[in-house]
Structure 1
Amino acid sequence: MIKRLITPFILMGVLVLAGCAAPLEVSEDPVGDLARTIQSLDPAVDPAEARRAAEISYSHATQLAQDYGVTTTPILHNTKVNTGLKERGLCFHYAIDMQARLEQEEFKTLVMLRAIAEPKTEFNIDHSTAIIAARGADIYDGVVLDPWRYGGDLFWSPTTEDTRYNWEPRLDVLRRKGERLVARNAVSG
């Protein structure tokens, strides 16, 4: 009952905030641009694998948004998931599903990684993404594949050039959060 009373107010607040998102840049050949960027990660990256990864990244981002029933901005969709109106579509759902789909390809020269960006201010939330990199590289030498940011329209960027988020390896962030939780519990316990 309380969810039904609070949800409209949350949705209105989210609508006001969601209007601040920057528009998605459109290229004449976005798949080709991504393929070339992936291939440029390392001389050992197979051009055919880079092209296939780019094609899958774009098509799967669109498919995920359809599967999740996304019809609104990502923040508003998050509110629907968090209030139980939708089942999936949070950033970590996109990251998990994008990583899993690309790992099905069993690329020989590419690897899928995960990253988390902790909030820059107290009003933000963590953000998760999948990152594609040359085999043996880390997230900082990879490309962010973020289908959540624009609600199923793929955002991608070399990790170090994505100025919106401070990406870190997922396990480093989770370890730090666990340490903070243990410290808080020790103080309050």
Structure 2
Amino acid sequence: MIRIMAAMLAFATLTACASPPPSTGDEVQRLASEILSLGPDVDPEEANRASRIAYSYTAQLVQEYEITDPPLIHNAKVNKGLRPRGLCWHWAEDIERRLKQENFQTLELHRAIANADNPFRIDHSTAIISRRGETLYDGVVLDPWRYGGVLFWSPLVEDTKYEWVPRDAVLQQRRVEQYGELLPYVSE
């Protein structure tokens, strides 16, 4: 059993610390085009602005978080107090907060969590941008944690590495589970 757990941990570590996909072309413009393709009522200026901010703010956070290692190693440093921030939920929270400052009229931000129900993998959080009024399932994942400060983005339906669930649904389920643990034992 210990060998199986060690093998699973090694596999999870190797896949989570994979190298980022190669850059081709103008990444900012490609993301802006993807955001614009979310619907005909998406403002092109907002799509461009959201894309520019997603890339420039990711670069700023790399400096602030002192990223020098792959994600799981950086996580260990944050958890030991050796780095200020940089867990996946920090990236998601900070990117979401920054983009919300723009008060977009045609775009909306969401948060999602993957692996919350998988005891063999750590939870992973991300921010998602969609057309206003749409769900996160219709949006684009913005995930700077996955490749250690290199912005990964993809339409959610094409992001097969994770099964994203709305953050509020995960947190509500956890509250229900924790409440159940707090109830006093009543014998029949």
Q: Would you call these one fold, judging by a TM-score over 0.5?
A: yes
Distance 1:165 1:149 in 2: 11
Residue 60, structure 1, aligned to residue 57, structure 2: yes
8 A contact 2:18–2:147 mirrored in 1: no
8 A contact 1:18–1:73 mirrored in 2: no
For the residue of structure 2 that corresponds to 1:125, the secondary structure is: coil
Tell me which of 20, 27, 33 is aligned to 1:24: 20
Q: How does 1:113-152 map to 2 (within 5 A)?
A: 113-119=110-116, 121-152=118-149
For the residue of structure 1 that corresponds to 2:85, the secondary structure is: coil
Distance 2:185 2:140 in 1: 41
Shift, 1:146, TM fit: 0.4
Q: What does residue 9 of structure 1 align with?
A: none
Distance 1:160 1:150 in 2: 19
Q: What does residue 161 of structure 1 align with?
A: 158
Q: What does residue 94 of structure 2 align with?
A: 97
Identity value in percent: 50
Distance 2:110 2:173 in 1: 18
Q: TM-score, normalised by structure 2?
A: 0.86
How much is the aligned-residue C-alpha RMSD, in angstroms? 2.0
Distance 2:117 2:27 in 1: 29
Uncovered stretches (5+) of structure 1, i.e. residues with no partner: 1-13
8 A contact 2:12–2:121 mirrored in 1: no
Q: What does residue 183 of structure 2 align with?
A: 186
Residue deviations 1:52-100 (CA, integer Å, cap 9, x gap): 1111111111111110001000100100111111121111111111011
| Change in 2 beyond 3 A, CA 1:17/1:174 | closer
Q: What does residue 7 of structure 1 align with?
A: none
Distance 1:139 1:42 in 2: 14
For the residue of structure 2 that corresponds to 1:105, the secondary structure is: coil
Question: Number of residues paired by the alignment?
Answer: 176
For the residue of structure 1 that corresponds to 2:151, the secondary structure is: strand
